[in-house]
Amino acid sequence: MITRPLDLASRLRPPPRSFDAWFYVNVGLLALMFALLGSRFVLAPGLEATFKLPAIGGAGAGAVPTTHYITVLGSGQILGDRGPMDLPQFRLWLAAQAKTAPHPTLLVKASAEVTNRQIAEIFTAAHQAGFEVVQAADEPAPAAGK
C-alpha cells in the first residue's frame, strides 16, 4: 500500500462506529435549507411562467387528434420530446418523426409572442417533412361580456 512508507494510515481518524445525533441534525438542516431556499426553476426546470396561447374565435372548430406536438417559445426556441431544438435540428427531428406514424399530424403550441414568420417556417418545414396536417393550438376567445 502507498501509505506504508510514510506511515499515513496511523495518522488517520478511525471510521465512525454509528450515526450519532450530529448526523441527523446535519441531515435535518440540509433538508430544511433545500425546502426554504430551493428554487423550483433549479430543481424542476420547465416552461416560462409567461407562456400563453393566443386567443382566437372558433379555435376548436377544426381540431383533430394529433400524433406529435411541439412548443414554441417567444424566444424562438422549439421544445419537442428531445428537449430544446433550433430550426436545423427541428427539421431533422421532423423527418424522423414523420416516418413513425401512418398519417402524421403536428400540433404547434406557440406562445403569443411568436411571430407569424416563425410559425410559417415551422409549418413549411413540417409539410416538407411529410406531415399531412399541421395545426396551431389556440385558446377560445373570451366571451364578449367578460
Per-range mean pLDDT, top range of 26-30, 34-38, 53-57: 26-30
- The enclosing domain of 104 has a CATH number of 3.30.420.270
- The answer to whether residue 90 is domain-embedded is yes
Q: How many domains does the chain have?
A: 2
pLDDT at 73: 84
Residue 132 and residue 104 in contact, taking contact as beta carbons nearer than 8 Å: yes
- The answer to whether residue 3 is domain-embedded is no
Cα distances (angstroms) measured from residue 100 to each of 78, 81, 87: 20, 14, 20
- The answer to whether residue 146 is domain-embedded is no
Q: Please check whether residues 37 and 59 belong to one and the same domain.
A: no
Q: Please check whether residues 30 and 68 belong to one and the same domain.
A: no
Q: Please check whether residues 60 and 121 belong to one and the same domain.
A: yes
Q: Give the model confidence (pLDDT) of 36-50 as tens digits.
A: 776 655 555 554 556
> Whole domain around residue 25: which residue ranges?
9-41
Q: Give the model confidence (pLDDT) of 89-139 as tens digits.
A: 999 999 998 888 888 888 888 888 888 888 899 999 999 998 888 888 766
Residue 132 and residue 47 in contact, taking contact as beta carbons nearer than 8 Å: no
Q: Please check whether residues 24 and 91 belong to one and the same domain.
A: no
